[in-house]
Amino acid sequence: MTYMEKYESWLKDDSVLPEFKAELKAITDEKEIEDRFYQDLEFGTAGLRGVLGAGTNRMNEHTVGKATEGLARYIAETFPGSPSCAIAYDSRIKSDTFAKTAALILAAHGVKAYLFESLRPVPMLSYAVRYLKADAGIVITASHNPKQYNGYKVYGAYGGQLTDEAADIVLDKIAEVASFGDVKSISEEEAVEKGLLVYIGEDVDKSYIDSIKTVTVKKDLVRESAPELQIIYTPLHGSGNVPVRRVLRELGYTNVHIVKEQEAPDGNFPTAPYPNPENPSVFTLALEMAKEVKPDIIFGTDPDCDRIGVVVTEKDGGSRVLTGNQTGMLLTYYLLNALKEEGRLPSNGVVIKTIVSTESVRKIASSYGVELMDVLTGFKYIGEKIEEFKATKEKTFIFGFEESFGYLAGDFVRDKDAVVASMLVCEMALYYKKKGMTLYDALMEVYEKYGYFNEAIVSFTLEGKDGQDKIRKCIEYMRDNTLTEVDGVRTLSKEDYKLREKTDLLTGVKEEITLPSSNVIKYTLEDDSWFVVRPSGTEPKMKAYVAVTGKDLDDSRNKLEAFKKAVVDAVNKGFE
């Protein structure tokens, strides 16, 4: 069906809501119609995500309904008996509506829907799936995207995001839903009466918070000295406000100062149009507060509270938001060192990172006799490994992270968790404060000990059908054309994760990549620098991840800028 045929079918379909028909009829630009209908929203690294509005390529009650109809059929067929699904949502526009829509569709299929009574972080959904022994989970969120976005993430019975095989089956089920009129639903009253809609809250909340507190490493330090730490926290109008403050309060952190203008949940994000803790501008209000409070630590969580950004004060008094790699490096070093000091470092311990995250932690882990494992981009792959190790007992999971500000410790959640990370960042800051050090001092210590690693991401934003075509063309160009050097430095290897092969560019020898197939290409160079190119799974972007190592901080920064420019030039050839 062409995009115009899809457009016409929406206008003729009696099950399409009148407000969406009116919205579509008001469109005068055919390019806008094409963008709304040229594709259906697809599962990426984190499920469905798109702009709110009418159309198959938009987030709305109908696309959510169709996705849930397919998921409900999958759950009912795969888990006969008394199947169930947990549902959570964040502060975004229509998140509560989409959550209720999904719950009532599930109930119509005899799938018990456990729905949180109010907004909750993504990791609490992961926890709830495991706690309630549900067969699946749904969370309505678009993470850190601007206000016009929302999304729909699906979780498996083990609490992690659906893996590729299960996601493909669900997609097939969704594709079988020919019309929105085929989406079954029942009323809230009927669902509650039949016990197919159950609202959840404090029981799950308390168990989750109690589990997080067990991850504390330096328990005596926290018990005795937590009130000494001055903290500024911003939830960025999202779902982290209540759980983050609760876990810190219960651990004794009494000096927690909240950025009031960003405290209340608000899907319009009035003070942070791009509510991403990677973006330094979201901390403007926190830094204003810092002039009065004089904090030891400033941090913020994104709207669905699975990512955390940390601000440190440099030697010259300036403030800097740590990169996701720097926070991951610091937490890895702190956790391994603290566990060793406490005599609790497991002999079969493992730290897990994604293939686009800093290599610095490989050296850190090795120095503590801990294995460092790589997985594909997407925290679901870290969740898979945690589940695997819990079953086999072969390894003990210590910490997992990805460069995009996602971190996890503990084995009770299967997704990145900024509530856990908030607690660990505060414990780490307290530990260094008692040693007379700031987190910036600690960062310099890690650099001096393990090397001046430096990384960055370059995003190429290309929206609409034309943009997607250009991204596909570019990645194929990078696949078909092999670079022999970048910025005058010889390339040593090329890894094509779609073909699942690594080529030694000096000998031509190929070896198999044992990770699942993914549309990713990676080069490693003679000076240990590397870069990766991949299309984003959740945004209209292609991303280039670049990494270097320098003799000192300035050298690494200079090398990174030159290398980044050379990589951008190489990628741009694919867009020509």
Catalytic residue numbers read 143
Q: How far apart are alpha carbons 58 and 50 in whole angstroms?
A: 5
Collapsing DSSP states into helix, strand and coil, what is residue 250? helix
Q: How far apart are alpha carbons 477 and 503 in whole angstroms?
A: 17
Side chain identity, residue 327: T
CB 326 within 8 A of CB 452: no
CB 134 within 8 A of CB 157: yes
Q: How far apart are alpha carbons 122 and 401 in whole angstroms?
A: 16
Q: What is the DSSP letter of 482?
A: -
First to last CA, the chain: 30
Q: How far apart are alpha carbons 237 and 275 in whole angstroms?
A: 8
Q: List phi, psi (to 5°) of 513.
A: -90, 125
Q: How far apart are alpha carbons 513 and 366 in whole angstroms?
A: 22
CB 181 within 8 A of CB 13: yes
> Could you tell me which of 474, 437, 412 has the C-alpha nearest to residue 207?
412
Q: Quick one: tokens of 43?
A: 């599962």
Long-range contacts from 223-229, C-beta under 8 angstroms, 24+ separation: 223/252, 225/430, 225/434, 226/251, 226/252, 226/253, 226/254, 226/426, 226/430, 227/252, 227/253, 227/254, 227/255, 228/255, 228/430, 228/433, 229/253, 229/255, 229/296, 229/297, 229/426, 229/429, 229/430, 229/433
Strand order through the sheet with 297-301: 256-258, 231-234, 297-301, 308-313, 319-321
Q: What is the DSSP letter of 43?
A: -
* Residue located via tokens 């499920």: 47
> Could you tell me which of 42, 36, 33, 32 has the C-alpha nearest to residue 55?
36
H or E element in which residue 68 lies: helix 61-78
Q: How far apart are alpha carbons 401 and 421 in whole angstroms?
A: 10
| HEC secondary structure over 299-359 | EEECCCCCCEEEEEECCCCCEEECCHHHHHHHHHHHHHHHHHHCCCCCCCEEEEEECCCCC
Residue 542 Cα distances to 38, 458, 532, angstroms = 19, 8, 11
